[in-house]
Amino acid sequence: MKIAVFGATGTTGVIFVEQALKENYQLKLYCRPQSIVKLGELSSHASVEIIQGGFDDDFTPAVRGVAVVVSFLGPGLNWPSGNPLEKVMMKIMQTMRNEGVTRFVTMGTPTIADPLDKNVFKYRILVSSLKLLQPNVYNDMVATGNLFKSGNYDDLDWTVARICFLKSSAQPKEHIHVGYVGDGQGSLVSQRVHWVKFILTEILENHWIRKMPFITSI
């Protein structure tokens, strides 16, 4: 199976690339030229094809010929206004439509609310704090979530894999929990390796199609 990966040079993206190669996937990585160095030796792996470009360039070379598209793109500090993440998601999904690719797994956070979430104080405070301190990030994440909740992209088999605070333990003691915000079992922390494991499992099992599960480590 061949997977297109956006955000492959971020911390979680690199972990995903490494694990996917161990599981014998073929990968097409869409990367800015200056970020390829972050992949190290992974960039020259026989099962890796690097597609260089930015968000204003054509995504077709990255999406053409793949079975699944995975995105680890998300807002960072000093995020601009205008909802750039929402625009990139729209561009990715339109390119998928053009190329006949239907499976899409992308990142999200509890800022994207799901009807099955519960109104729990600690999560409500986190979202409210983000809205106050990082309004551009908050607005972009809400707008991105609304893309999927609108039904306008339900011709695609999308999954929004939501996470909270990320940790980077190579062999975490915790276990992965997949559910919804405030279900009484999740936590505030998501181990990166658990998030990656969820995505690779979901690609095969397709259990959470057109759903927005919350992935944490407990």
The C-alpha angle with vertex 105 and arms to 160 and 74, in degrees rounded to 5, equals: 65
Q: Which of 190, 85, 88, 93 is nearest to 134 (CA)?
A: 85
DSSP state of 42: G
Per-residue pLDDT of the chain (218 residues; tens, 9 = 90+): 999 999 999 999 999 999 999 999 999 999 999 999 999 999 999 999 999 999 999 999 999 999 999 999 999 889 999 999 999 999 999 999 999 999 999 999 999 999 999 999 999 999 999 999 999 999 999 999 999 999 999 999 999 999 999 999 988 989 999 999 999 888 999 999 999 999 999 999 999 999 999 999 99
Q: What does the pLDDT read at residue 89?
A: 98
d(CA 173, CA 69): 30
d(CA 21, CA 42): 9
Q: Which two tokens stand for residue 62?
A: 């990255």
d(CA 35, CA 28): 15
pLDDT digits (tens, 9 = 90+) for 131-159: 999 999 999 999 999 999 999 999 999 99
Q: Which two tokens stand for residue 139?
A: 């607005």
pTM of the model as a whole: 0.95
Q: What does the pLDDT read at residue 42?
A: 97
Q: Which residues contact 181 (CB under 8 A, 6 or more apart)?
A: 110, 113, 114, 117, 118, 120, 123, 162, 214
Q: All domains of the chain, ordered by start, with CATH?
A: 2-217 (3.40.50.720)
**What are the φ/ψ torsions at residue 193 (nearest 5 degrees)?**
-65, -30
What single-letter amino acid sits at 71?
A: S
DSSP state of 211: B
Q: How many CB atoms lie within 10 A of CB 74?
A: 19
Contact yes or no for 178/197 (Cβ under 8 A): no
